[in-house]
A = this chain, B = another copy of it.
Amino acid sequence: MNKRVGKQTIELKTKPRIIATTSVVGPKEGEGPLSMYFDKILKDDINGEKSFEKAETSILIDSIKETIFKGNITEDKINYIISGDLLNQLTATNFAMREFKIPFLGIYGACSTMAQAIGIAAMLIDGNFAEYTIAATSSHFSSAERQFRMPLEMGSQRAPSAQWTVTGSGSMLFGTKGNFPFVKYVTTGMVKDYGVKDANNMGAAMAPAAVDTIKQHFLDTGRKPDDYDIIATGDLGSIGRKITQDLISEYGFNLGKNYIDCGEEIFDHDRQKTHSGGSGCGCSAVVSTGFLYKGLVEGKFKRVLLVSTGALMSTTSSLQGESIPGIAHAVSLEVGV
């Protein structure tokens, strides 16, 4: 029984359930507009650790442990963890995995990692490869800033189009039974590169990928923008969101008031001086495990399309003059029939 719907989408008829989720965020995210939806807000973003990298690992561990606890199951019942992060060689994740006796698949999709992890975690359930899986990711402002941009001590001025890496970790536990929100469609993206070279304008670099995946999702499923209560890209920021809205209208799809961007929602940009918006793997992870999942559970939303977007450069590639490839993966999170 072929599960393919159109060119890039699959339909999961068994409805892999999202049994529990956890969002852990840093202090700045905890002062933002989505504060009330997060499970845990750190008092200090170093979280009692000796480095920001270790702090990132610690919030990922926290988030996964809390999700397992909420799911009321034990670690040995979980067949796979799918997780990744922004650090070179996924060290935040790889070091976190030392704490779990669970088979592990490391993935990298930059800030698209959460939707990619959800897609794989849901497919492993739907394909009868697993009874329980976990999708997770993390990012940390300070570990990302000093890896990708400038030493923190320099206090560099930021370009208005720059984004602010979210300190946060989100995780989701998937299973086969129960009355929980579920994943119906998974639309896997292709790499798109329209030649943007400015790493301070990632929204513009990722927008064509977001447009391509959203458009294809509608074409594949026959759904329209209005079929979703929320369409959430993440994390294009305010600049990338406007580009996406403009470009997709050329394909005849109008994204209206139900269209938000996780990076734009998570901070109050004027007050918090986060410029174009939040970014980082953790951004769409905490918005989806916090705001979106809770909205589904509470019946505020019936259908949500999460479209996590990734900018696939490294510091080496940018210094070598390469443009920034973008990718976006979409998953529909739903309740009801």
The one of B88, B105, B110, B131 that contacts A116, using a Cβ cutoff of 8 Å: B105
Q: Is A128 an interface residue (CB 8 A)?
A: yes
Contacts of A116 in B (CB 8 A): 105-106
Q: Does A97 contact B (CB under 8 A)?
A: yes
Query: Given the known A-B contacts A97-B190, A97-B325, are A1 and B89 also in contact in the complex, defined by CB atoms under 8 Å?
Result: no
Q: Report the stretch among A28-36, A224-232, A265-273, A316-324 that lies at the interface.
A: A316-324
A123 near B127 with CB under 8 A, answer yes
Flag the segment in A3-11, A156-164, A234-242, A249-257 that touches B.
Answer: A3-11
Say yes or no: A10 contacts B88, CB within 8 Å: no
- Cβ-defined contact, A317 with B3, below 8 A: no
| Inter-chain contact B104/A190, CB cutoff 8 Å | yes
A325 touches B98 (CB 8 A): yes
With beta carbons under 8 angstroms apart, the residue of B2, B54, B80, B317 that contacts A188 is B80
- Asked if B97 and A316 sit within 8 Å, CB to CB, the answer is no
Cβ B3 vs Cβ A94 within 8 A = no
Which residues on B sit within 8 Å (CB–CB) of A88?
Answer: 88-89, 314-316
- List chain B residues, Cβ under 8 A from A147: 316
Any chain B CB within 8 A of the CB of A107?
yes
A131 and B317 CA atoms in complex are apart in Å by 34
Residue A46 interfacial (CB < 8 Å): no
* Contact indicator A104/B191 (Cβ below 8 Å): yes
CB neighbours of A316 from chain B (8 A): 53, 87-88, 91, 147
* Binary contact readout A47-61 vs B (1 if CB under 8 angstroms, 0 otherwise): 000010110000000
CB of A314 within 8 A of CB of B190, answer: no
Binary CB contact string for chain A from 301 to 337 against chain B (1 if under 8 A, 0 otherwise)? 0000000000011111100101001010000000000
The answer to whether A128 touches B129 (Cβ under 8 A) is no
User: For residues 118 through 142 of chain A, which have their beta carbon under 8 Å from a beta carbon of chain B?
Assistant: 120, 123-124, 126-131
Give the residues from 67 to 105 in chain A that come closer than 8 angstroms, CB to CB, to chain B: 79-80, 84, 86-91, 94-95, 97-98, 100-105
In contact, A103 and B190 (Cβ under 8 angstroms): yes
Contact partners of A90 in chain B: CB under 8 A: 108, 312
Q: How far is the CA of A101 from the CA of B4 in the complex (A)?
A: 17
**B129 touching A4, Cβ below 8 Å:** yes
Task: Point out the residues of chain B lying under 8 angstroms from A278, CB to CB.
Answer: none
Contact with B along A148-159 (1 / 0, CB 8 A): 000000000000
Which 7 pairs show the lowest CB-CB distances between chains A and B? A127-B127, A103-B188, A94-B312, A97-B191, A89-B314, A88-B314, A88-B88
- A residues near B, CB below 8 A? 1-4, 8, 10, 51, 53-54, 79-80, 84, 86-91, 94-95, 97-98, 100-110, 116, 120, 123-124, 126-131, 147, 188-191, 193, 312-317, 320, 322, 325, 327
